[in-house]
Amino acid sequence: MSRILFFLAAIILPIIFSWWLFIPIALLFIYLARLPYEVIIAGFILDSVYYFGNGFFARYPLTIFSLTFIVITFFLSKKIHWSEII
């Protein structure tokens, strides 16, 4: 239940305040939930709300950011043992 609420907060708070708020919320969500794939969906939704430019990297920066950190977390989960909080 808390993962769903945090997912909704990761979408709603950056829409209300600004897109840059997605980055600390996503990092906190990755730290708390270990492998939250919901961050990729939230990044894609926010990329469709905000306009960053025309190129591929300029059009989907939040999706690329969240995908990159999920991949890094996936590789680090084998080396670092941390407990899943939510």
Q: How many domains does the chain have?
A: 1
84, part of any domain: no
Tens-digit pLDDT profile for residues 2-12: 889 999 999 99
pLDDT of residue 33: 85
The verdict on residue 47 lying in a domain is yes
Residue 12 lies in a domain: yes
Q: What pLDDT, in 10s, does the model give residues 25-72?
A: 999 998 888 788 999 999 999 999 999 889 989 999 999 999 999 999
In the prediction, which pLDDT does 84 show?
Answer: 67
In DSSP notation, 34-76 reads SS-THHHHHHHHHHHHS---SSHHHHSHHHHHHHHHHHHHHHH
Domain coverage including residue 66: 1-79
